[in-house]
Structure 1
Amino acid sequence: MTQTQPHAPIPTKTTPQGVTVRVRRPPTGGDPSAPASGRRTRSLRRAADRSTGGTPATPLVYLTLAVSVLLAAAPLYYMVVMASRPNSDITSLPPPLTPGSQLGPNLSRVLANQDVMFGQAMVNSVLVAGAATVSVVVLSALAGFAFAKLRFKGRNALLLIVIGTMMIPVQLGLVPLYMLMGKLGLAGTLPSALLPFLVSGFGVFMMRQYAAQAIPNELIEAARVDGASTTRIFFSVVFPILRPAAAVLGLLTFMERWNDFLWPYLTLDADHPTVQVALSRLSGGYYTDQALVMAGTLLGTLPLVVVFIVFGRQIIGGIMQGGVKG
């Protein structure tokens, strides 16, 4: 007669309230927490991958990023190398790949050149690009908020007109703009390089799209219930939400105005150059000192680098938010 082995007693415990409950028996054959911990770790990793919308980083991804960074930084590094060398080294073979000792003297020669007026050109470009950036960001945010959240007659027609201005080539309006600046008595002065670019159709459309997606109507209605005016709603509620998009628009506008050559070349006189006009003077004539051109290019690039470093976090945040919302 076969004897059956008695079952192990079921473990129980008593709660402080006097209730007896069963305790789940841990699995046999190893560490009880290992399987659950492993499953939990894998599930957390999968959840993190789903939340970021991507795949885990692999060595190939890091290698691709490293190569991309090197390719992007190579022109800047070569510009520094050429700006720190004498002109004779630039045409030598093989070309130099390490910085030289002439960076300071070359920069001093660029700034001391009275025919180029590079220092004055830097100041003029900062004034024009900075004023245009502030104006475009503020006016575009105001107009974008109005087109996205305010209801008024002819709103859609006005928005179509704004979009239509983006289809007109800039070169088509150079002659009428120059004639207008001449009639206003501003031809040859610094304001003539600024006035045509105080507002941007692209900026209005960009801010309108961002405001329509990022700002809920309930938030504006709640502010109105609290007694806030439209102006108060914009500056206290709307503009803080639009800040990432405003940072992106500000960087694009600053770069566009800083790198503009044709319009300042047409409308400004020799005493009011911008950076791009001054660089064209460095490379003009029968003999071009390429080391000076590279040194001037390095000086002209530094403000853009500084702007990106200062506002980089908001710029990248705005691009990421725009990509997610799109």
Structure 2
Amino acid sequence: MTAQLERVEPAVVRRPEAPAPARPRRRLGVSPTVVVLALVTVVSAFPLYFMLVMASRPNGDITSVPPPLTPGGELWTNLERVLSNADVGFGRAVLNSLLVSGVATVCVVLFSCLAGFAFAKLRFVGRQPLLGFVLLTMMVPVQLGLIPLYMLMTKLHLVGTLPAVTLPFVVSGFGVFLMRQFVVQAVPDELLEAARLDGASILQTFWYVVLPVLRPAAAVLALLTFMERWNDFLWPYLVLDLDHPTVQTALSRLAGGYYTDQALVMAGTLLGVLPLLAVFLLFGRQIVGGIMEGGIKS
């Protein structure tokens, strides 16, 4: 009798299906962070908006109580009055401020990058004392140096000219310190050693290796320097004559005299703020992106 073995198929064990993950419920409310940021934005932007309102109103509306909160129809008239005022020369003042701020910004960024690289990566006699002297200049108020600086400009026969407000500010102790700290964190010694082994000189290493890494910090330094020079009032007021005004000295002349034309002053202030707003709108995203890129590299 032959026994036949019956082939038994293995039982298929099926695992119970896992329940589908629950979809997160969408919150209908607004995050408190968004509310706080919105309030901060409104509070920060309100002075600019109120300046626009005052620049578009006649003097009678500006001095009214309560003041108006909506723009009027006198904006272009007030702007034309500012630009056509021959005694102030506001258009020439804007060009002078652009020239002074631009030259000072380029020089500060270039010299700060060079000095920061030297203090961070080069070894030379007197490096630490020189760095301490640079830091010491940051602790001295600018007002203490006005008299000797004015005497120096007088001996150089620069009083009343634009170089008098440009040359004293082509180097910045803060800029040197900022770039030095950035070089220490963002530029490793191995990168410089590799460039040296490839036969690059010190200047070639700085230009092709170090400077591209410094772009984020250089952009921030350029923005801060441009704003500082554009908003400077005291030194240009002391050394410039009426034929070479800057924006801030021109605004002081608009507000001077026995009667202050508030609409004229607000329109001039609006013209003086527009270049700074343009810089922020055009380069703000690149500057922030450069800072993030530099932070990731470091």
TM-score of the aligned structures, taking structure 1 as reference length = 0.83
* Cα distance in 2 between the residues matched to 1:124 and 1:7: 94
SS in 2 for 1:194: helix
Equivalent residues in 2 for 1:279-318, closer than 5 Å: 279-318=251-290
Aligned-residue Cα RMSD (Å) equals 2.3
SS in 1 for 2:150: helix
* Cα distance in 1 between the residues matched to 2:289 and 2:127: 30
CA contact (8 A) 1:213 1:325 kept: no
Instruction: Name the residue aligned to 1:15.
Output: none
CA gap of 1:61–1:187, structure 2 versus 1, over 3 A, is same
CA contact (8 A) 1:141 1:207 kept: yes
Match of 2:39 among 58, 67, 70: 67
Name structure 1 gaps, 5 residues minimum. 1-5, 12-24, 42-56
CA gap of 1:322–1:163, structure 2 versus 1, over 3 A, is farther
CA gap of 1:7–1:176, structure 2 versus 1, over 3 A, is farther
Instruction: Name the residue aligned to 2:229.
Output: 257
Tell me the number of residue pairs that the alignment of Structure 1 and Structure 2 aligns: 287
* Cα distance in 2 between the residues matched to 1:109 and 1:82: 15
Q: Residue 9 of structure 1 aligns to which amino acid in structure 2?
A: A
Shift of 1:308: 1.4
CA gap of 1:318–1:168, structure 2 versus 1, over 3 A, is farther
Instruction: Name the residue aligned to 1:90.
Output: 62
Equivalent residues in 2 for 1:189-268, closer than 5 Å: 189-268=161-240
CA contact (8 A) 1:128 1:193 kept: yes
Equivalent residues in 2 for 1:68-147, closer than 5 Å: 68-147=40-119
Identity %: 66
Q: Residue 65 of structure 2 aligns to which amino acid in structure 1?
A: L
* Cα distance in 2 between the residues matched to 1:7 and 1:208: 76
* Cα distance in 2 between the residues matched to 1:9 and 1:79: 82
Which structure's relative contact order is higher, taking Cα pairs within 8 Å and 6+ residues apart?
A: 2
1:159 aligns with 2:161: no
Q: Residue 11 of structure 2 aligns to which amino acid in structure 1?
A: P
Match of 1:9 among 4, 8, 11: 11
CA gap of 1:165–1:322, structure 2 versus 1, over 3 A, is farther
Instruction: Name the residue aligned to 1:3.
Output: none
SS in 1 for 2:64: coil
CA contact (8 A) 2:186 2:294 kept: no
* Cα distance in 2 between the residues matched to 1:81 and 1:195: 38
* Cα distance in 1 between the residues matched to 2:186 and 2:32: 35
